[in-house]
Amino acid sequence: MNDQMGLGTPRGPHFLRAVMEHPGRTAPPAPHGAPAPPARPPGAARVLLAAAIVAAVTGGAAGFAGAGLNAAPDPAPAALPRSSSGPVAAPGALSAVAARVLPSVVSVEARGGTGSGFVIDADGHVLTNAHVVGTGSEVTVVLDDGRREPARVIGSDTGNDLAVLQVDGVSGLTPAVLGRSRDVAVGDQVLAVGSPLGLSGTVTSGIVSAVDREVPLGRGRLTAVQTDASINPGNSGGPLVNARGEVIGVNTAILSRRGGGSIGIGFAIPVDRAANVAERIIRN
């Protein structure tokens, strides 16, 4: 399917392999030679059921009669606290966030592999992961409107797993709005946008599961934003955005069982670090 779409083979995010034990516990077998429970005589179940029905009817009648003689007024129920915050955001609110972000997101093709990226300024600079572009100096970006444009890799920082591309002479680019790392909090609603498995313009939702999570990234261990938004191969380099459509991270890695695929544990490079690296690459 990817070859038909011209998007090549998805690349990234990096997989942090983990071996998961099967959950749950089974009951232990009966000891060898233990006697089996005695069989119930035929018809015993019907006799017991009939006796239970008779007892229930008799007890219910007696209880009803007793209630008529000894009834007392029920106490008034305690008043439980209620929220006064008003209705929550409409279920369709995330569609507006996605519509705001999607024009800034691109697919990145490099040496047969694909990833994601997003426009960061009006000069045609695109931010993505270093592992998406590899060692190549030229790539192709596919814009939100389907246009395919050549781009130059103007710099990479493999230690932070970030790279900046330059798309020259292209009009109509929409830069993404960058947020601030200090504004990110556990429980914030987020969207991950990119081209998983070559499916450009894919949006998945979740929350911020943790901030400043230390994980293996780049050439060492770095802190990252953890999210349960679904992130899969091809999402690398795409933005993780908050409910205002502001970029709070660059999707770059997932924790996965053997065999790959999202299990709801993904990691994004915090936006402040990503922006600082991008600015340094552009200046130099």
Per the annotation, the verdict on 131 as an active-site residue is yes
Active-site choice (161, 228, 230, 262): 161
145 has catalytic annotation? no
CA-to-CA dists, residue 37 to 34, 40, 121, 266, 272, angstroms: 9, 9, 76, 51, 67
Q: Which residues contact 120 (CB under 8 A, 6 or more apart)?
A: 126, 127, 164, 175, 176, 178, 275, 278
d(CA 149, CA 139): 9
Euclidean distance between CA atoms 162 and 281, whole angstroms:
10
The amino acid sitting at 241 is V
Give the span between the Cα atoms of 144 and 200, in whole angstroms: 8
Kindly report whether the peptide bond that precedes residue 13 is cis, defined as omega within 30 degrees of 0: yes
From the candidates 230, 236, 256, 262, which is the catalytic residue?
236
Catalytic-role residue among 131, 156, 157, 200: 131
Query: Do the bridges between strand 148-157 and strand 138-142 make them parallel or antiparallel, or are there none, so unpaired?
Result: antiparallel
Q: Is 125 a catalytic residue?
A: no
Active site residues: 131, 161, 236
